Amino acid sequence: MFPCPTRFMCGFMPRYALKVEYHGAPFAGWQRQADQRSVQAAIEAALSKLELGPHTIAAAGRTDAGVHALAQVAHCDMAKTWDPFRLSEALNYHLKPDPVAILACAAVPDNWHARFSALERQYFFRLLTRRAPTTHAAGLVWQVSHALDVGAMREGAAHLLGKHDFTTFRSTICQAASPVKTLDALEIEAVETQGGPEVHFHLRARSFLHNQVRSFVGTLERVGGGSWQPDDVRTALEARNRAACGPVCPPQGLYLAGVTYPDDPFV
Residue 7 has pLDDT above 60, yes or no: no
pLDDT at 53: 79
Query: What does pLDDT average to over the chain?
Result: 94
- Average pLDDT of the segment spanning 160-178: 95
Higher pLDDT: 27 or 175? It is 27
What percent of the chain lies above the pLDDT cut of 90?
A: 93
Instruction: Give 224-267 pLDDT, tens digit per residue.
Output: 999 999 999 999 999 999 999 999 999 999 999 999 999 999 99
Instruction: Give 29-61 pLDDT, tens digit per residue.
Output: 999 998 999 999 999 999 999 999 799 999 999
Whole-angstrom distance, CA of residue 140 vs CA of residue 255: 9
Domains of the chain: 15-117 (3.30.70.580), 120-258 (3.30.70.660)
pLDDT-based confidence at 4, cuts 50/70/90? very low
Residue 2 has pLDDT above 70, yes or no: no
**0.85 exceeded by the pTM?**
yes
pLDDT at 1: 31
CA of residue 119 relative to chain centroid, distance: 14
Residue 9 has pLDDT above 70, yes or no: no
CA angle 244, 250, 256 (to 5 degrees): 105
Element (H, E) at 218: helix 212-225
Q: What is the DSSP string of 125-183?
A: EEEEE-SSPPSTTTTTSEEESS---HHHHHHHHHTT-EEEE-GGGS-TT---S-SEEEE
Instruction: Give 115-157 pLDDT, tens digit per residue.
Output: 999 999 999 999 999 999 999 999 999 999 999 999 999 999 9
Strand partners, 255: 68, 124
**Torsional class of 88: left (φ above 0), alpha (ψ -120 to 50), beta (otherwise):** alpha
pLDDT at 13: 86
Catalytically annotated residues? 64
pLDDT at 11: 56
